[in-house]
């Protein structure tokens, strides 16, 4: 904390330089989302084969996504634990702990033996480490958002709040670029196959092991932070609670519910644009799967096969990366707009557009007679979807923390964000695969599912107050240390 003599000379100097605030909030979430994306990509390409060899492609994919979704169940627990320590003892140490937990779990996934080596124990160990990832991410996002917004200049909280959000597109690009680089570097005796023998043998492990390097960099940045002045003021005024969870549930339960549903459409859109589209886009078409079965001399049941678009893994991921660039751009643009017109107004417009977007899945994602036209339509779909993703995800770094006072801000924003992950992120990949199969390979029901979840978010936003003018210095939370 600044000494009295220093404060007298520079009374307006922030405890943390702006560059350090931006870097600390950005680099941590970039690493966290990198770790999550690495798992998400492996859940589609590797884990159904190496950890869940059920003999049926759809069942194996569902099992892999089931473990992927299990992490979302651990996230609210992480939100409660890290939120408690973040509201009791400060943001800095809590952020360091969440990052370290995530990094260790991700590194160990890269060391796991597979089903062929230890049987179903491999899947169990993968589940345990996946739960550890989810537990860590439960505390990461809220801490990063608080570092950004509690240190932001007046009138620029939403702008600063977009920097931790920018970690999502950056993490996606880094993770998938590493997967692509490994894919290109490994030999492909039968051409540029998306899963060569070398890739399945050891190549998939490299992105998980590489996370250790990124975590070391992130820890170095975060250890240089000092506690935010807003939290220090709450501490000095006796507003810190012994049990923040009890306070936030008892006094701010309505905002917990609103925050959970405000985030719902964002989560569903996010995981449909990343996980589902990768599965659907790279799954062989009916004709392609039939031809492959005939070439290998195996039986093929066209009635039970769920077709996709038949893109190669490399081609489709490059298309996704192009879309994610727009995700990053619109994330940054959303901050100044939310500061100017308000978070609620911007999100109402964007959510309405997501409802409409969900009704266009069959327009963009059905195969066309001309493969080039199919590619153009799918690329347009990815660009539009990720633009909406940036516009809805960016303001979340401001609106969720602003719903709660300082003494329960970490707990409140973390619980809302992560309970929403169960309703949205945990269920979205599983529901999408099931609806895709139920529609016989058409994505139409998946789009309707997105629209329905977005309507719930729109309703929540109607009841959510505008938080643009909330004064963090005045909104410390009333009470005496030791009370609920």
Mean pLDDT, residues 161-168 taken together: 92
Angstrom distances, CA of residue 316 to CA of 98, 184, 358, 382, 403: 32, 14, 20, 10, 39
Q: What pLDDT is stored for residue 383 in this prediction?
A: 97
Name the band, by pLDDT with cuts 50, 70 and 90, for residue 2.
Answer: very low
pLDDT at res. 352 = 98
Segment 60-88 shows an average pLDDT of: 81
Q: What gap in Å lies between CA 257 and CA 419, rounded to an integer?
A: 9
Higher pLDDT, 149 or 302: 149
Q: What is the pLDDT of residue 193?
A: 40
The residue with greater pLDDT, 178 or 479, is 178
> What's the pLDDT score for residue 5?
39
Mean pLDDT calculated for residue range 145-172: 90
In percent, the amount of the chain with pLDDT more than 70 equals 92
% residues pLDDT > 90 (the chain): 33
pLDDT of residue 102: 84
- Short-list 75, 70, 14, 31, CA closest to 47: 70
Query: Per-residue pLDDT tens for 260-306?
Result: 999 999 999 998 998 889 889 988 888 887 887 777 777 777 777 88
CB 380 within 8 A of CB 364: yes
370-398 pLDDT, tens digit each:
889 999 999 999 999 999 999 999 999 99
Q: In this structure, are residues 131 and 108 in contact, taking their beta carbons and an 8 Å threshold?
A: no
Name which of 28, 226, 277, 224 is nearest 139 in CA terms: 28
Confidence check: pLDDT of 196 > 80: no
| Structure confidence at residue 15 (pLDDT) | 64
Q: Interior CA angle at 55 toward 438 and 310, to 5°?
A: 55
* 74's tokens: 């651990």
Q: Is the pLDDT of residue 139 over 80?
A: yes
CB 206 within 8 A of CB 182: yes
pLDDT at 119 over 70: yes
Tokens at 382, concatenated:
């990815």
Residue 419 CA, distance from chain mean position: 13
pLDDT higher than 90, residue 187? no
Residues 324 and 316: their CA atoms lie apart, in Å, by 12
Place of tokens 């979704």: 69
Instruction: Considering only residues 221 and 387, tell me which one the structure prediction assigns the higher pLDDT.
Output: 387
- Spatial distance between the Cα atoms of 33 and 43, rounded to a whole number of angstroms: 15
Question: pLDDT tens digits for 421-478?
Answer: 888 877 887 899 899 989 988 999 999 999 999 999 999 999 999 999 888 877 777 6
- pLDDT bin (cut points 50, 70, 90) of residue 415 is very high
pLDDT at 353: 98
Q: If you average pLDDT over residues 126-155, what whole number do you get? A: 86
Q: Mean pLDDT across the chain, nearest whole number?
A: 84
CA atoms within 13 A on the CB side of 369: 0
Per-residue confidence band for 233, with pLDDT thresholds at 50, 70 and 90: confident
The pLDDT-based confidence of 99 (bands split at 50, 70, 90) is: confident
What's residue 55's pLDDT? 65
Mean pLDDT of 48-74: 75
Give the residue-averaged pLDDT of 209-224.
Answer: 83
Statement: residue 401 has pLDDT above 90: yes
């Amino acid at each position: 904390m600044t000494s009295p003599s220093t404060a007298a000379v520079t009374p307006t100097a922030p405890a943390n330089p702006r560059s350090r605030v931006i870097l600390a909030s950005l680099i941590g979430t970039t690493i966290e989302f990198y770790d999550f994306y690495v798992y998400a990509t492996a859940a589609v390409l590797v884990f159904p084969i190496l950890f869940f060899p059920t003999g049926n492609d759809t069942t194996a994919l569902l099992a892999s996504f089931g473990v992927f979704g299990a992490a979302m169940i651990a996230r609210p627990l992480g939100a409660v634990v890290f939120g408690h320590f973040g509201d009791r003892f400060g943001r800095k140490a809590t952020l360091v702990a969440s990052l370290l937990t995530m990094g260790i779990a991700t590194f160990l996934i890269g060391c796991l033996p597979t089903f062929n080596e230890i049987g179903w124990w491999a899947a169990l160990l993968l589940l345990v480490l996946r739960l550890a990832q989810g537990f860590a991410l439960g505390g990461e996002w809220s801490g990063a958002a608080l570092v950004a917004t509690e240190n932001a200049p007046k009138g620029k909280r939403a702008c600063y709040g977009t920097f931790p959000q920018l970690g999502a597109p950056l993490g996606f690009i880094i993770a998938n670029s590493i997967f692509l680089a490994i894919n290109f570097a490994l030999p492909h005796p039968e051409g540029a196959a998306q899963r060569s023998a070398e890739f399945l043998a050891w190549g998939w492990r490299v992105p998980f092991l590489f996370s250790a390097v990124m975590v070391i960099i992130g820890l170095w940045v975060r250890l240089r932070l000092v506690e935010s002045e807003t939290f220090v003021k709450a501490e000095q005024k006796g507003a810190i609670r012994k049990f923040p969870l009890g306070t936030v549930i008892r006094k701010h339960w309505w905002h917990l519910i609103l925050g959970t549903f405000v985030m719902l459409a964002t989560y569903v859109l996010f995981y449909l644009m990343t996980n589902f589209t990768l599965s659907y886009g790279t799954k062989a078409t009916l004709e392609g799967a039939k031809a492959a079965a005939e070439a290998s001399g195996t039986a093929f049941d066209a009635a039970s096969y769920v077709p996709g678009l038949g893109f190669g893994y490399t081609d489709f991921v490059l298309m996704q990366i192009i879309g994610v660039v727009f995700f990053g751009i619109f994330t940054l643009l959303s901050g100044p707009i939310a500061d100017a017109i308000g978070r609620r107004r911007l999100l109402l417009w964007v959510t309405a557009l997501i409802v409409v977007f969900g009704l266009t899945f069959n327009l963009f994602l059905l195969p066309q007679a001309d493969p080039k036209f199919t590619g153009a339509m799918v690329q347009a779909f990815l660009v539009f979807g990720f633009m909406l993703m940036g516009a809805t995800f960016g303001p979340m770094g401001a609106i969720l923390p602003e719903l709660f006072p300082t003494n329960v801000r970490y707990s409140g924003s973390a619980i809302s964000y992560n309970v929403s992950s169960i309703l949205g992120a945990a269920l979205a990949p599983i529901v999408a695969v099931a609806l895709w199969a139920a529609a016989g390979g058409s994505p139409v029901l998946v789009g309707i599912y997105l629209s329905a979840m977005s309507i719930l978010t729109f309703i929540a936003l109607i009841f959510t107050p505008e938080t643009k003018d909330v004064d963090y210095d005045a909104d410390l939370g009333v009470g005496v240390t030791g009370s609920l």
